[in-house]
Every structure is written in C-alpha cells, then in structure tokens.
C-alpha cells in the first residue's frame, strides 16, 4: 500500500505554495465529486489521490513531504503557465483545429489497431517457410554463427585431458559427462547445441584474436586457449560462416514481422477501399461543386 499523506501534512505543503494562487480562475473544469480535491488553480483541480500516488511505499515522512512539495509546485506552475499562454495566444482557432485534427487521427489509429487485432491472423508456418525459400538472398549472414559448447576452467581443474577427449569425440554420451564435469568445475559453462550464437560474441569471452572467422571456423572445430588464470574451451558442433544464408530458425521471427506488416497494410488498404466504395454506392458522398467527381 502506498504511503498516505494525512490532511495535516497536506495543509503544511499547501502553505508553501499558497502565494502562487492569487490568480483568479476564469474557467473551471467539472469537479470529480468522487475524489477529494486538494487545491484548485486556473480552473483545474489537483486531487489528494494524485499526490498520494507518486509517493513510493518506502519513503520516509521527510522524503514524502519533499517529493509531494516538488510535485505540487510543478503541477501549479503548469496550470498557471497554461492559463497565461491561453490568454495571450492569438491563434486559438489554429490550435483548436490542430487539436481536432490530432483527435481524429488518434481515433482512426485506435480503430485500425482494434480491427487488426480482432480480424488479422498471424502468418502460418507454411507462409513463413515459403517466403524464406523465395527470398533467401535477403537473409545473408553478416557475421558467422555457431552451435556448440563453451567452457571456462581454472588452470588447476582436475582431469582436463579427459574433458578435452570428451569434447573432441562429442556425442550424447560425452555430453552427459561434459555437463556433469562443468557443473562441478567450470567457472563459466554454456551449452548451445540447439541455438545459434554469433561467433564473435563467444570469442569476446576468450583471449582470442581472429581476423577472419570465415576462414578460421571450418579448420578449428575445437578451440583451446588460456591466460594466466583460466583455460578456455570451445567445441563447435555446427556453423554457418558470414555470407551464407541465415538458417530458417534465425530468420523466422524477422519473416513473421515482415509478413505481419504486409498483411496489416493490405488489410487496412482493403478495408478503407470497401468503406469508400460503400459510401459511393449508398450516395453518402455528396459533391457540392460542378467539378467532376474523382474516383
């Protein structure tokens, strides 16, 4: 439950800003009778629950007073500046037109989003796969990716030769041994045999400098390097070098986004065309000039 401001505390805060309230209120918004008002300025109400809502639960009384005081000052200042600006701007009609235009745009946008959410289905797996097959040239890797195992060990870790042997002759049986060993001895351990990782992100974990991953990876499926404290092991079980087509499982989410955006665009375009055609058919569009109507 939020820290609550009692009425005595509110009155104390009020005294610190009462000097700001000498402006007369010209326009008064309708007061919400279900809420307790704290103050009124320039025809606007600030309610007690608004002040309470900005006070974190763990704030002390002193911090609560300071935060509430700052919030109230800003609220009052904004209300007064708004009143002053409204009284001294000469282009009120232009502003009202802009507000109305924005209101219409917002309503249309919200309705479009509602229609899309209710009526548009997600792209099917078949559609995604078809797009991938037809557009592979659009999904070329800019960085090499790998699957495998990464292990970081203290130099004094036991049975290192056995671990190295398991990694070189990698299979499911060795995987169980590797995982058990790594849990017991590794400082850092990552198995990513089912997920692609960017090779350059993995090498950041190791004291390893490689100029061309496309040349290095095919000839180095087992990588071992060390510094003064640790041994770093990387066993690559699968790879795709930069310039090759991105695997389907990596491209899938991107394709889904592309197809969804295309569907949204087409759906909205068709929906709006139907509304326009229906209005023409029902003669709801009345041309008031002698110029030829344009379809």
Residue with tokens 């009462």: 18
Dmax (CA) of the chain: 94
Tens digit of pLDDT for each residue in 113-156?
A: 999 999 999 999 999 999 999 999 999 999 999 999 999 999 98
Tens digit of pLDDT for each residue in 230-274?
A: 999 999 999 999 999 999 999 999 999 999 999 999 999 999 999
pLDDT band (50, 70, 90) for residue 104? very high
> 154 pairs with which residues across the strands?
230
Q: What per-residue confidence (pLDDT) applies to 166?
A: 93
The single-letter DSSP state of residue 228 is S
Q: What per-residue confidence (pLDDT) applies to 290?
A: 67
- Percent helix, strand, coil in the chain, to 5, is 55, 15, 30
Q: Which of 11-15, 58-62, 126-130, 132-136 has the lowest mean pLDDT?
A: 11-15
What average pLDDT does the structure give for the chain? 88
- For residue 157, the SS3 value is coil
- Retrieve residue 116's tokens: 């899309």
Query: Domain residue spans in the chain?
Result: 7-88, 125-134+247-281, 141-240
Percent of the chain beyond pLDDT 90? 69
Average pLDDT over residues 65-80: 92
User: What is the rounded CA–CA span in Å between residue 84 and residue 94?
Assistant: 18
C-alpha of 273 from chain center: 32
Residue with tokens 């209710």: 118
Q: How many CB atoms lie within 10 A of CB 40?
A: 15
User: Mind spelling out the 3-state secondary structure of 4-42?
Assistant: CCCHHHHHHHHHHHHHHHHCCCCCCCCCCCCCCEEEEEC
Contact 68, 51 (CB under 8 A): yes
> 245 pairs with which residues across the strands?
140
């Amino acid at each position: 439950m939020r820290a609550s401001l009692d009425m005595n505390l509110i009155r104390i805060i009020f005294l610190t800003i009462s000097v700001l309230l000498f402006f007369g209120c010209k326009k008064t918004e309708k007061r919400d009778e279900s809420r307790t008002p704290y103050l009124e300025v320039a025809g606007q109400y600030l309610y007690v629950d608004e002040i309470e809502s900005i006070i974190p639960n763990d704030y002390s009384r002193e911090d609560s007073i300071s935060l509430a005081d700052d919030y109230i000052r800003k609220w009052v200042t904004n209300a007064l500046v708004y009143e002053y600006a409204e009284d001294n701007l000469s282009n009120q009609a232009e502003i009202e037109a802009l507000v109305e235009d924005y209101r219409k745009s917002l309503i249309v946008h919200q309705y479009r989003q509602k229609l899309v959410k209710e009526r548009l289905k997600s792209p099917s797996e078949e559609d995604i796969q078809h797009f991938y097959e037809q557009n592979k040239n659009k999904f070329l890797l800019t960085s090499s990716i790998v699957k495998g195992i990464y292990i970081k060990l203290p130099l004094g870790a036991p049975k290192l030769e056995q671990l190295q042997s398991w990694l070189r002759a990698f299979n499911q049986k060795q995987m169980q041994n590797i995982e058990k060993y790594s849990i017991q001895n590794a400082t850092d351990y990552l198995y990513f045999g089912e997920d692609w990782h960017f090779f350059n992100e993995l090498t950041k974990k190791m004291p390893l400098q490689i100029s061309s991953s496309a040349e290095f990876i095919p000839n180095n499926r087992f990588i071992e390097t060390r510094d003064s404290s640790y041994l770093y092991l990387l066993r690559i079980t699968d790879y795709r070098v930069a310039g090759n087509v991105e695997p389907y499982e990596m491209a899938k989410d991107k394709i889904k986004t592309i197809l969804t955006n295309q569907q949204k665009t087409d759906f909205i375009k068709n929906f709006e065309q139907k509304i326009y055609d229906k209005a023409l058919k029902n003669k709801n569009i009345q041309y008031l000039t002698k110029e030829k109507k344009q379809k």
